[in-house]
């Protein structure tokens, strides 16, 4: 019998997809001529927010800015821990103005904000997992940012190299299932270099391993509260595996956002107390 999982209430920051569009191509999922169904995108996003609130989570929202179509992907804006914000410096020039918009929100909400010196894309590449901060590099966040964030938070930081451009952010290839010292993860091994796969195997011997099929439908761009896992509906095998491990999959369809290379986690910044 799988163990009983206990959820922890979370506080999330999101941004309404009022200006969401695919206006440029900065990852393999994006095509400049792609048409976005704006009404469908708004409806899917609203379903995600409703699902979070229905499961007891708090949701704050930052005002979207015209001309910033990817601002809906709030996870890339920062890493937030105990009232301190390690902000973002985007790789793509098209996204760099987002940093200021989010910094304004954080400061108005009473947070201290650190502007990184190196390219860093927030929770897209920075993931707390128990005693460690997992940090992705290879396509977006610079390896030098890993040292910078370790110095800022004083948390052991483990660098992981991504090798498949379709999984350009860490949060497209891995997500954390549980909090606490015995944190566990789900991940897709082939997204990582051989050395990084070995590191993950050693740190998380009981990890849930996803298939390529589930990774390709953004099944690993999920959010877990320790019991409920908000997950792409087409990641059926992964959902079944999570169920066998005692988690409760909560399917939420954000397929319209996959046109820009995003999903559930991309749209969700966690504010950790």
Interatomic CA distance for residues 261 and 169, integer angstroms? 10
**Closest Cα to residue 23, out of 64, 77, 71?**
71
Distance CA 186, CA 257 (A): 21
- Interstrand relation of 79-81 and 157-161 (parallel, antiparallel or unpaired): unpaired
Q: Which two tokens stand for residue 249?
A: 């999959």
Q: Which helix (H) or strand (E) holds 40?
A: helix 38-54
Residue 200's region, left for phi above 0, alpha for psi from -120 to 50, else beta, is alpha
Note if 169 is an active site residue: yes
Q: Is-catalytic flag, 267?
A: no
Coil/strand/helix, residue 35:
coil
Neighbouring C-beta atoms of residue 96, cutoff 10 Å: 14
DSSP code at position 117: S
Catalytic hit among 57, 91, 146, 169: 169
Catalytic residue (choose from 15, 120, 266, 267): 266
CB 98 within 8 A of CB 90: yes
Pairwise CA distance, residues 92 & 119, whole Å:
10
CA distance 180 to 268: 20
Residues with a known catalytic role:
169, 266
């Amino acid at each position: 019998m799988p163990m009983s999982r206990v959820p922890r209430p979370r506080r999330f920051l999101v941004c309404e997809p009022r200006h969401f569009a695919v206006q440029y191509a900065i990852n393999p999922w994006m095509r400049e001529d792609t048409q976005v169904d704006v009404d469908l995108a708004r409806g899917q996003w609203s379903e995600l927010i409703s699902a979070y609130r229905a499961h007891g989570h708090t949701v704050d929202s930052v005002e979207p800015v015209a001309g910033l179509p990817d601002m809906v992907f709030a996870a890339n804006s920062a890493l937030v821990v105990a009232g301190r914000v390690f902000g973002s410096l985007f790789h793509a020039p098209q996204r760099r103005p987002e940093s200021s918009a989010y910094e304004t929100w954080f400061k108005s909400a009473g947070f201290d904000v650190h502007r990184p010196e190196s390219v860093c894309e927030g929770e897209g590449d920075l993931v707390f997992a128990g005693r460690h901060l997992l940090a992705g590099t290879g396509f977006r966040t610079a390896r030098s940012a890993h040292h910078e964030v370790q110095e800022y938070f004083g948390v052991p930081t483990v660098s992981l190299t991504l090798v498949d451009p379709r999984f350009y952010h860490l949060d497209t290839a891995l997500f954390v299932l549980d909090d606490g010292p015995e944190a566990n993860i789900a991940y897709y091994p082939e997204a990582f270099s051989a050395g990084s796969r070995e590191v993950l195997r050693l740190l998380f011997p009981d990890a849930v391993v996803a298939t390529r099929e589930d990774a390709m439908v953004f099944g690993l761009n999920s959010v877990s509260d320790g019991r409920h896992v908000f997950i792409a509906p087409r990641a059926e095998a992964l959902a079944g595996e999570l169920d066998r491990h005692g988690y409760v999959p909560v399917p939420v369809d954000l397929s319209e956002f996959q046109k820009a290379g995003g999903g559930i986690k991309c749209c969700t910044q966690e504010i950790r107390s």
